[in-house]
Structure 1
Amino acid sequence: MDFFPSEEHQLIQATARKLSKDLLEPNAEALDHGEGRDTLLANLKTLAENGFMGLNLAARYGGTEAGTVSFALAIEALARGCASTTVTVSVTNMVGEVIQAVGSDEQKAAYLPKLSDGTYPAGAFCLTEAGAGSDPSAMKTRAVKDGNHYVLNGTKLYISSAEYAGVFVVWAVTDPDAPKGKGISCFLVEADTPGLIISKAEKKMGQTGSATNEVVFEDCRIPATAMMGAENDGFRVAVGELAGGRIGVASLALGIANQAMETAKQYVKEREQFGRPLADMQGIQWMIADRETDLEAARLLILQAATLKDAGQPFSKAASMAKLFASEAAQRATYTALQLHGGAGYIRDYPLERYARDARITTIYEGTSEIQRLIIARETMKAV
């Protein structure tokens, strides 16, 4: 087992850290206050130009071909600077991967270069609905065949990057009489398609700089060639891509947590009470030790899942373990970091309260912690 990153991994990680520090971090506070959208879009373009929007895509489509381990390292590094920007990077990479995995040659050629080079600022997934969150097989959005077209009707919720996505991967029921989860298909819908409506923007607790919207389909007419993969096989595609997306969320959570703890460690070294630095006090040291152990364990779980995915091995259980542990560890780390700042951590002069709010969603999206436990238990019992 090799625990040492390759030269390519180190280069990608170092580049991501520099871009995170130079571009993302200076805009993070503005995004959190509802400003800085133009800078966000400019930063997304720069990230694309540096290869971060197609980390696991083939070079012939403008991708980096760097693999999942590089993806995880990059997302962790970028999230240190701005979680709102990084979630767009993570989701866009996964949109590219699903197109590469199940799209036709024509679909790959049409969309992957635009995701890779930043022509599209982002890609988006349209899966969740009001009655189909943890159970996406219960979705109600319909796609009805009409000659050489399909007509989409329905509403999707909590769609990341919807306001600036260039292409949407959309799941809809194509056979309502099929057993649950068996009659769902997957489509590619371009942003300017009539009948695709970007509706209300959600007002969120954290990651407020990342647009999250309701997306409505009203008699949205798309060519039959917009279907990805086989008809009625879309649910299998969704389940597979959610597993890959969990590596991204785990890495994002780890990045937020690491940045919070780095900020806290610097603070306790400088802050004095009772005539000595806080860092000299055993109680403080033990708090830091517990969180450092948490984050190192999270890092190893993430790299295990990413390595399995790159090797073409089953990785669903490993991805769920990484996502569960890293996201829960991020809650502990951000709140510990805030506590180490005392009253200063509770005011907006310091970024600790933003880190805590940004980390909170990582236990929810791409499958809640409770769903991850169900997946882990199910996969564990299969081997018994």
Structure 2
Amino acid sequence: MDFTPTPEQTAASELAAEIFGDLSTPERLADRGGDTDTALWKELCTAGLSGAVTETGLLGLVLMLEEQGRTTAQVPFAASCVYGLLAIGAHGDTDQRARLLPALRDGTAIATGAFPARPGGVRAWPEGPRRTEGDRRPDGPRKEEGPRKAERPRRAEGPRRADGKGRLTGSVPVVPWLREATHVLVPDGVTQTLWLLRTDAPGVRRDPVETTAPWSAGRLTLDDAPAERLGPDASTAQQSTTHPYADVLATARTAFAGLQAGVCAGALARAVSHTATREQFGRPLSTNQGVLLRAADAYMDTEAIRLTAYEAAWRRDADLDAGEQALTAAWWAAEAGTRVVHTGQHLHGGIGADLDHPVHRHFLWGRQLAAYLGSGAEVLEELGELLTSRDARNAQDAQDARNARDVRNARDVRNARDPQNRQEEGTT
């Protein structure tokens, strides 16, 4: 493992730090309120940072998202890169890549994702005459379900056409950056097949939803909405051996863990600056042992988030399985991220509770990221299931190897006792 960034990744990260630092100031964020900073988004795309993701890889994206997190810039950078550029680049067919990637690179198109898949949320159906309510929901009325952890991909395919066209019906309570998006990547709630739809298509409804962090989120409601399956020609995908849903979910968890690392680093930097200049009883707050210990713990938590995100990103870029590493990074982002943003607010004392103070924005982002794509408990449960299933497969492989070895040994013993049999086996 070598997390040393390439010159291209370093250049992209430094440029991102410059743009976010110059344009995503506390004063500008306060003026924007909860809206997306469209001018900043245009500047990022003009500088080529969104398009650079296809060259710098996931590790390069994580490095740039750290810089966004430090300033809590209100742009759909992570969502559009993960659910658009990287997802289509890895699992889209030749036509989809040629048709969609240029607009995503220059920012004229913005993608987001209705992740994770939710049983009872969205179902895909083959194109055809409009179906009745009973036809669309053969199992009876759909019941609204709360957030659940993403299930392991199923082998079932679900109804669809060979040309990759389908119709989607269902709803997703919260989709980040939905108000700004032109495309949404939606997994089928049962088969986890990925479908890409336009937000201006018939049957698509978007209702604004307020979230903890100002993510321009919305509720997505689909009623026989037309969509295209991502990557109908699987042989041309870069990672055809990887289940597309599992790969995109792992990529999203890694990228948003990198964003959380930046949020935590920004909160900690503000806390360090405050405690170093604020004096009580004739000395800076930073000289108190309790303050030092809390800041040190927050620093180690931040580094744990960063390094686990780096490892998961590096493995994906190296075409290695990164499912376990992405879950590990997501767990650190949820558990340690919550601790760090609470520490940052606590070390500010009374002013940390001021809703207009910049550190409070880091607190809101940290809490939002801690629950996105699964809470710490949900992610840990999923990681445990993945590890136990892997151990079971390894045990079965070891048993198969022992059985094959026993068969070879028995054959060798039989041949040693019967030279004629050995000669006959050699001729066959």
TM-score bracket for the superposition, by shorter chain length: 0.7 to 0.9
| 1:148/1:374 CA distance change after superposition, 3 Å | closer
Any idea what the Cα deviations from partners look like across 1:206-229, whole Å, max 9, x if unmatched?
A: 212x2111112223245xxx2223
- 1:253-264 correspondence runs (5 A): 253-264=260-271
Partner of 2:108: 119
Instruction: Give percent identity, aligned residues only.
Output: 25
Whole-Å separation in 1 of the counterparts to 2:307 and 2:354: 33
2:213 equivalent among 184, 200, 207:
207
Does structure 1 conserve the Cα–Cα contact (< 8 Å) formed by 2:93 and 2:232? no
The Cα shift of 1:259 comes to 0.5
| 1:300/1:170 CA distance change after superposition, 3 Å | closer
Partner of 2:43: 46
1:366 equivalent among 366, 370, 373:
373
Using structure 2 for the length normalisation, give the TM-score: 0.75
How many pairs are equivalent?
353
Whole-Å separation in 1 of the counterparts to 2:229 and 2:387: 34
Q: Secondary structure at the match of 1:43?
A: helix
| 1:265/1:148 CA distance change after superposition, 3 Å | closer
Does structure 2 conserve the Cα–Cα contact (< 8 Å) formed by 1:158 and 1:213? yes
The Cα shift of 1:145 comes to 5.9
Q: Secondary structure at the match of 1:45?
A: helix
Partner of 1:216: 221
Does structure 2 conserve the Cα–Cα contact (< 8 Å) formed by 1:264 and 1:341? yes
1:150 equivalent among 154, 166, 181:
166
Matched, 1:227 2:241: no
Does structure 2 conserve the Cα–Cα contact (< 8 Å) formed by 1:48 and 1:117? yes
Whole-Å separation in 2 of the counterparts to 1:24 and 1:315: 32
The Cα shift of 1:71 comes to 0.9
Does structure 2 conserve the Cα–Cα contact (< 8 Å) formed by 1:188 and 1:227? yes
Q: Secondary structure at the match of 2:71?
A: coil
The Cα shift of 1:349 comes to 4.3
Whole-Å separation in 2 of the counterparts to 1:283 and 1:147: 63
Does structure 2 conserve the Cα–Cα contact (< 8 Å) formed by 1:144 and 1:152? no
| 1:248/1:336 CA distance change after superposition, 3 Å | same
Partner of 2:71: 81
Q: Secondary structure at the match of 2:107?
A: coil
Q: Secondary structure at the match of 1:5?
A: coil
1:171 equivalent among 167, 174, 187:
187
Q: Secondary structure at the match of 1:134?
A: coil
**Counterpart amino acid of residue 227 in structure 1:** R
The structure whose residues are more often strand, as a share, is 1
Does structure 2 conserve the Cα–Cα contact (< 8 Å) formed by 1:143 and 1:172? no
Partner of 1:282: 289
Whole-Å separation in 1 of the counterparts to 2:66 and 2:45: 17
Whole-Å separation in 2 of the counterparts to 1:100 and 1:305: 18
Does structure 1 conserve the Cα–Cα contact (< 8 Å) formed by 2:353 and 2:360? yes
Q: Over aligned residues, Cα RMSD in angstroms?
A: 2.8
Any idea what the Cα deviations from partners look like across 1:60-86, whole Å, max 9, x if unmatched?
A: xxxxx111111111001111112542x
Partner of 1:162: 178
The Cα shift of 1:51 comes to 2.7
- 1:1-384 correspondence runs (5 A): 1-2=1-2, 4-26=4-26, 27-31=28-32, 33-34=33-34, 36-37=35-36, 40-57=37-54, 65-82=55-72, 84-85=74-75, 88-95=76-83, 96-120=85-109, 122-127=110-115, 128=118, 129=121, 130-131=144-145, 133-135=147-149, 150-172=166-188, 181-182=190-191, 184-198=192-206, 200-204=207-211, 206-208=212-214, 210-222=215-227, 226-230=228-232, 236-381=243-388, 382-383=390-391
**Counterpart amino acid of residue 359 in structure 1:** G
Using structure 1 for the length normalisation, give the TM-score: 0.83
Q: Secondary structure at the match of 1:194?
A: coil
Whole-Å separation in 1 of the counterparts to 2:24 and 2:160: 42
Q: Which region of structure 1 is more displaced relative to structure 2, 294-303 or 244-253?
A: 294-303
The Cα shift of 1:148 comes to 9.3
Whole-Å separation in 1 of the counterparts to 2:244 and 2:339: 33
Unaligned runs of 5+ in 2: 122-143, 235-239, 395-428
Whole-Å separation in 2 of the counterparts to 1:133 and 1:373: 15
Unaligned runs of 5+ in 1: 58-64, 174-180
Q: Which has the larger radius of gyration?
A: 2
Whole-Å separation in 2 of the counterparts to 1:295 and 1:89: 21
Whole-Å separation in 2 of the counterparts to 1:11 and 1:274: 45
